[in-house]
Structure 1
């Protein structure tokens, strides 16, 4: 029996909520397992800087100062199977704030492309952008 689209979207959103919670908790408290979430040819774009591959990601996460992320908004959309070679894929957008090493707070936006099953031809993409924080009093 085929799952209707609304049920599919609801299931995807529930899974994404759990993923986002685990991802940012791991980012803030114990980064070393994060690379397990990425493929060998993964791409991370952090404030316009390109980081490619697991070794480069591990090095990047290792030198990144300690963080405190707060997710204020989460959105997810399943990606049509024609665009992903029939792989179950969800586009995730988060928005919130982050403080690094106790410094000034910044607005933070992150886009994930999560794929349940991938081939080596489709690297996972992750794009992160930090914006100045004006302090909404």
Structure 2
């Protein structure tokens, strides 16, 4: 029987996973957007400035409509989500903010929140996006 992990170790692991994920996510968004859907669960939901996109095919179609981008993350916060809230599924809440410039548009501030869930195999753990909420922060640039 596995020993329960102490809370500090749990938080440290969540933070490490979040940092690795954020680096991968924004590099993929900027440079390899075609494969971005690999980071999402099959039934993941994206809310992009109030518009809902659900499922991998819809996500792929949506990402194809976005112009090329240059993201700069200025803030990252994360915390593990209590297992009672996620039916014992290992889950991490990740919040980022920064600036983004989409080709042909001005630079804008953004805020993005992810719910990541651990997908474990015998050899490793892969974090997948269950929920993603992106919003421009227009008030910050006025």
**Alpha-carbon distance, 1:103 to partner:** 2.3
Please list every run of at least 4 consecutive aligned residues from structure 1 whose deviation after the TM superposition is greater than 3 angstroms. Answer: none
Q: How does 1:1-137 map to 2 (within 5 A)?
A: 1-117=3-119, 124-132=130-138, 134=141
**Alpha-carbon distance, 1:68 to partner:** 0.5
- Give distance in 2, aligned partners of 1:107 and 1:49: 18
**What does the per-residue CA deviation read over 1:69-106, in whole Å, with 9 as the maximum and x for residues that have no partner?**
00000000100000000000000100101000052111
TM-score (norm 1): 0.90
Return 5+ residue gaps in structure 1 as ranges. none
- The structure whose residues are more often strand, as a share, is 2
Q: How many residues align?
A: 131
TM-score (norm 2): 0.87
